[in-house]
Amino acid sequence: MALNPPFLALTLSLCIISLLPPTTSSRTTPFSTTVLDISSSLYQAQQVLSFNPEFLESSQQQETQLTSTSSSSSFSLHLHPRETILNENHHDYKNLVLARLARDSARVNSLTMKLQLALNNVSKSDLHPTQTEILPEDLSTPVSSGTGQGSGEYFSRVGVGQPAKQFYMVLDTGSDVNWLQCKPCSDCYQQSDPIYDPTVSSTYGPLTCEAQQCQALEVSACRDGRCLYQVAYGDGSFTVGEYVTETVSFGASGSINRVAIGCGHDNEGLFVGAAGLLGLGGGPLSLTSQIKASSFSYCLVDRDSGKSSTLEFNSPRPGDSVTAPLLKNQKLDTFYYVELTGVSVGGEMVSIPPETFAVGQSGSGGIIVDSGTAITRLQTQAYNSVRDSFKRLTQNLRPAEGFALFDTCYDFSSLQSVRVPTVSFHFSGDKTWSLPAKNYLIPVDNAGTFCFAFAPSSSALSIIGNVQQQGTRVCFDLANSLVGFSPNKC
């Protein structure tokens, strides 16, 4: 049968249409978004440069008058971001960010070295601290400091001795040994409080070399029957002194007697500002282990906000927590590993092999939650996948050049706010922790350059850093081997 011309034309048109490539609707498929308040972030970035630490003097009085919690065994302390304690006189916000990132890189190197030593069964007693000359001007120059675990980004006000003297101590979930600088000093760095004097405390007690706490130290020695300790960090910083017991006070919420703590007479490195370190790791000498805490939690406020929050021991976990299994590495009991199953961007799961975040039989790999690391590090393959997913959904945003360790940045200088893809962590049991936009797109200068605040790890270890944790109460439920994330609980 012959085809008439109109029918033939229609048939050809349909054939041609069927051969055309699909429309761009697949690229415009709606994805999950959230709003980044650019103006608010830039305002805080400007304000933090002019914050005066003297404003904290009145709050220090309040910190010693904290209201007791409902349980007699619960303790609470205020937490302060570094910039509210130390005035480091950065001339602009870009310089401040570079300083933070320099400290952060050294911190990550220190953690990975600690794990590597454990995996290779190398004892710290086989190592010797790097001898470096510390110049006075270096103490206020964090960009060149190379500080590691001792630098600290969040500080708590802790009482030591009887009568209690108040000191700013670094909060550190990546360390176990508690210590503070002590008189007499053979070498002490600059700190914001007067140096602790053991002669004015009635509860100061040296530990013998046979004491259980002394035996548990990684590096120890004996002098005149007294226990000596040394803690060395990955950047060559270290603290050396007597290992003693003292009373540790938590504001008005209580105190604990005979806590093992290092009384450091030789403390070399650029710790800057803090009197010492509060070890909250999972090892037997950490503060959490010594006071037999069933749980502890903290909420890290935005480092640019000038506000404070709390560090709490034995407080109940918030009912709305997104929980995940808390795992242990048999090679190293200090770190808090979490069972992460994946990451989503724009509501879509990123293609990441399931074993990427698992702790291997050798003890390598896995992902930890850390209070001292700022920027979340993901195993390189996982990072590349997450970054690529984010870039694919932000092609409408004006790109900017990379900055320091960030390779994905944007120019938001002409915007007040912007809608961006969501980023979420996923745990077993279909649990999802969704991050606020300001926890993964952060300003790196005052001009409106924002960067995607994730970075590749130089090792198999991944780390959830404190920028991603900001504004979230992170609860380590030690009794039930869970970690909980509760947004907006500061």
Give the pLDDT confidence of 347-367 residue by residue, as tens digits.
Answer: 999 999 989 999 988 999 999
- Find the length of the chain: 490
473: which 2 tokens? Answer: 């109460």
For residue 225, pLDDT over 90 is answered with: yes
Q: pTM of this prediction?
A: 0.84
Confidence of residue 253 (pLDDT cuts 50, 70, 90): confident
Sheet holding 409-411: strands in order across? 399-400, 409-411, 449-452, 441-443
Q: How far is CA 319 from CA 326, 336, 393, 470, in A?
A: 17, 21, 34, 19
Dist. CA 43–CA 391, nearest whole Å: 26
- In the chain, the percentage of residues whose pLDDT exceeds 70 is 80
CA dihedral sign of residues 332, 336, 341, 347: negative
- Mean pLDDT value of segment 379-402: 97
**Which strand (E) or helix (H) includes residue 343?**
strand 340-345
In order, the DSSP letters of 257-286 are: EEEEEEEEEEEES---B-SEEEE-SSSTTS
Half-sphere exposure of 368 (CA within 13 A, CB side): 29
Query: What is the residue type of 346?
Result: G
Whole-number pLDDT of residue 490: 78
Checking if the pLDDT of 175 tops 50, the result is yes
List 104, 172, 193, 302, catalytic entry: 172
User: Which conformational region is residue 236 in: left (phi greater than 0), alpha (psi within -120 to 50 degrees), or beta?
Assistant: left
Give the bridge partners for 342, in sequence order.
426
Mean pLDDT lowest for which of 149-153, 220-224, 233-237, 257-261? 149-153
Average pLDDT over residues 417-445: 96
Q: Is 370 a catalytic residue?
A: yes
The mean pLDDT value of the chain amounts to 82
More confident residue, 4 or 340: 340
Residue with tokens 């700190």: 191
pLDDT exceeds cutoff 50 at 410: yes
Which residue's structure tokens are 């971001």?
81
End-to-end CA distance of the chain: 80
Highest mean pLDDT among 51-55, 88-92, 143-147: 88-92
Question: What pLDDT does 71 receive?
Answer: 39
Mean pLDDT of 120-124: 68
Please provide the DSSP assignment of 6-53 as one string. Answer: HHHHHHHHHHHHHHSPPPGGGGS----EEEEEHHHHHHHHHHHHT--G
d(CA 292, CA 253): 16
C-alpha 24/C-alpha 10 separation (Å) is 25
pLDDT at 9 over 60: no
Active-site residue, selected from the candidate residues 104, 176, 370, 445: 370
User: What are the pLDDT digits (tens) for 202-224?
Assistant: 999 999 999 999 999 988 999 99
Please tell me what DSSP assigns to residue 353.
-
Provide mean pLDDT across the span 307-315: 88
Q: Can you point out the beta strands (E) in 70-193?
A: 75-81, 154-160, 165-172, 179-181
* pLDDT tier, 183 (very low <50, low <70, confident <90, very high otherwise): very high
Does residue 103 or residue 374 have the better pLDDT? 374
Structure confidence at residue 102 (pLDDT): 85
Number of H helices, E strands in the chain: 9, 30
